[in-house]
Amino acid sequence: MSLLKYESQQREPLVDGDKNYHQITEDIIGPIEAKPTRLWYIGFWISVALLIFGGYSVYREVTYGIGQWNLNKTIGWGWDITNFVWWVGIGHAGTLISAILLLFRQGWRTGVNRAAEAMTIFAVMCAGQFPIWHMGRVWMAFFVMPYPNTRGPLWVNFNSPLLWDVFAISTYFTVSLLFWYSGLLPDFATVRDRAKTKFRKMMYGVAAFGWTGSTKHWQRHESLSLVLAGLSTPLVLSVHTIVSFDFATSVIPGWHTTIFPPYFVAGAIFSGFAMVQTLLIVVRKVMNLQDYITMGHIEAMNKVIVLTGSIVGCAYLTELFIAWYGQNTYEGWAFFENRANIMSPYGWSYWLMMFCNVVSPQLFWSRKLRRNITVTFFMSIIVNIGMWYERFVIIVTSVYRDFLPSSWSTYYSPSIWEIGFYLGTFGLFFTCFFLFAKYFPVIAVAEIKSILKTSGENYKAKMTDIEKSDAEKFYVEKVEHAH
């Protein structure tokens, strides 16, 4: 068996520049060992300030009740649940990248999976805040747990989608965290073994769990990653499906649609990838990781964005068609009057959503725009604004006009504490992300090393000669046939 690995020149290199194993370690672990930059401190403290403001907003809500938010009689779910669904959606890209792309053997995943998984975990943490604090009497939150109690025992309702949510999101968070951390062990060991200071040696020593890199351990590690990927694949699809059940199993016109699960999942992946782009475009520049998160990576993610964006657009149009075709008065009203009529109180939000999610991503059919950093960055923000509005449209425009016109509440605008809570989750998210970017290997070092000799630019260059001479013959005789 020859160990020479061959990959077609048609494929873009995944690691640019003249790299060897040690250089990869230097490039990725180096920033951890350096002092944080001024920019890092500024970003970090802004995030902490937002987090504190969010904490105060939550304090007001807990002390004075949900009345601190401008929710009203028909709009019982407003910004809070909009934000919840938005954050959970963002939390879908990480596991999709690390699990589904692992199963599909997509090599480009190695450059972005670590940061995307971190983003997933932080986003799910933010998402979890909203239903918890929305309970009002948050000290009763443990009632959602099925445990033998002195009230009967009165159990939770296992037939309720809201309870499914509890299980789905806590499982998703736990499994994502385990997946992420098991992948981090070998990289923490790398940091530990080259640490110069005692403190760093101790901290990363604890974090690495005593990892040595033994062949048997790697074998088990590979098996673990593969099975966790297999488990996470249906899991990631199930989470947003179950979130969509919160709406779809109700009888509210505008929510009561069977298209919701696939439409929500596509939307989640769409917004998740947009958030990954927003973060990684900044990270690769600031931390000088352009060789690992290449234009090819950005283009690959933009392809996912244009695909899922088009699926979402298709779902919007299907909904409209069915609302007309079904000839249900209430459903028709919800779609054509409350949403699509631009003159109605919330018509603007529907068309903003349509523009951001359906029209703008179509630009990515152009290869030139897919490979343009500035366009990608702005697009990623537009997509996330659009996806926030999607949830806002679904929630608010379906409930602000009740069956009883006397209880219509035609204008709902959030209070400062409602907005503060949302900003607070941004604070939480970015505080975590800044800490992650400083103290964690933002790229999976071991995984990059394992693809270097097939997909590194310098190694690929050597394959040109092979290709010219007689690739077919070489391939049959010499190349290791990876399983």
Partner 1 sequence: MAGGIKKFVVGSFDDEAILFPAVKNVRKAGYKIYDVYTPFPVHGLDHALGIRETSLHTAGFIYAITGTTTALGFMSWIFTKDWPLNIGGKPHFALPAWIPITFELTVLFSAVGMVLTFCYLCNLAPFVKKHHFHPRATDDLFVMAIECSDKTDDAAVQSFLQNAGAKEINVQVAETGWWIGRYDKEQKLYRDEKGY
- Rule CB under 8 A: which of 10-29 touch partner 1? 20-22, 25
Instruction: Give Cα separations from 201 to 114, 197, 206, 207, 310 (angstroms).
Output: 22, 6, 8, 10, 49
Q: Does residue number 178 form part of the binding site for partner 1 (CB under 8 A)?
A: yes
Q: How far is the CB of 161 from partner 1 (least distance, A)?
A: 8
Q: Which is nearer to partner 1, 35 or 216 (CB)?
A: 216
> According to CB under 8 A, which residues from 201 to 240 bind partner 1?
201-202, 204-207, 209-224, 226-228, 231-232, 234-235, 238
CA distance 181 to 240: 23
Q: Which is nearer to partner 1, 23 or 360 (CB)?
A: 23
Q: How far is the CB of 373 from partner 1 (least distance, A)?
A: 30
Q: Does residue number 194 form part of the binding site for partner 1 (CB under 8 A)?
A: yes
CA distance 193 to 183: 17
Q: Which is nearer to partner 1, 21 or 378 (CB)?
A: 21
Q: How far is the CB of 393 from partner 1 (least distance, A)?
A: 25
Q: Which long-range contacts (CB under 8 A, 24 or more apart) does 464-469 make?
A: 464/9, 466/6, 467/8, 467/9
Determine the size of the site formed for partner 1 (CB under 8 A): 76
Phi-psi region of 210 (alpha: psi -120 to 50; beta: other; left: phi over 0): left
CA distance 338 to 319: 14
Q: Which of 459, 392, 318 is nearest to 85 (CA)?
A: 392
Segment contacting partner 1 by CB under 8 A, of 115-123, 184-192, 341-349, 466-474: 184-192
* Residue 10 DSSP class: T
Show the binding pattern over residues 89-118: x = contacts partner 1 (CB under 8 A), - = does not: ------------------------------
Query: What count of Cα atoms within 13 Å lies in the side-chain half-sphere of residue 52?
Result: 6
Q: Does residue number 260 form part of the binding site for partner 1 (CB under 8 A)?
A: no
> According to CB under 8 A, which residues from 438 to 477 bind partner 1?
445-447, 449-450
Q: How far is the CB of 26 from partner 1 (least distance, A)?
A: 9
Q: Does residue number 481 form part of the binding site for partner 1 (CB under 8 A)?
A: no
Q: Which is nearer to partner 1, 404 or 482 (CB)?
A: 482
Residues paired with 456 in a beta bridge: 15
405: burial class by Cβ within 10 Å (0-12, 13-18, 19+)? exposed
Q: How far is the CB of 178 from partner 1 (least distance, A)?
A: 5
Show the binding pattern over residues 118-157: x = contacts partner 1 (CB under 8 A), - = does not: ----------------------------x-----xxxx-x
Q: How far is CA 235 from the centre of its chain?
A: 14
Segment contacting partner 1 by CB under 8 A, of 34-42, 59-67, 189-197, 418-426: 189-197
Q: Which is nearer to partner 1, 222 or 470 (CB)?
A: 222
Q: Which of 122, 116, 89 is nearest to 386 (CA)?
A: 89
CA distance 81 to 161: 14
CA distance 24 to 33: 14
Show the binding pattern over residues 397-436: x = contacts partner 1 (CB under 8 A), - = does not: ----------------------------------------
Segment contacting partner 1 by CB under 8 A, of 182-190, 373-381, 404-412, 471-479: 182-190
Near partner 1 by CB under 8 A: residue from 1, 140, 251, 404? 1
* CB contact set of 123 (below 8 Å; sequence gap of 6+): 87, 88, 90, 91, 94, 272, 275, 429
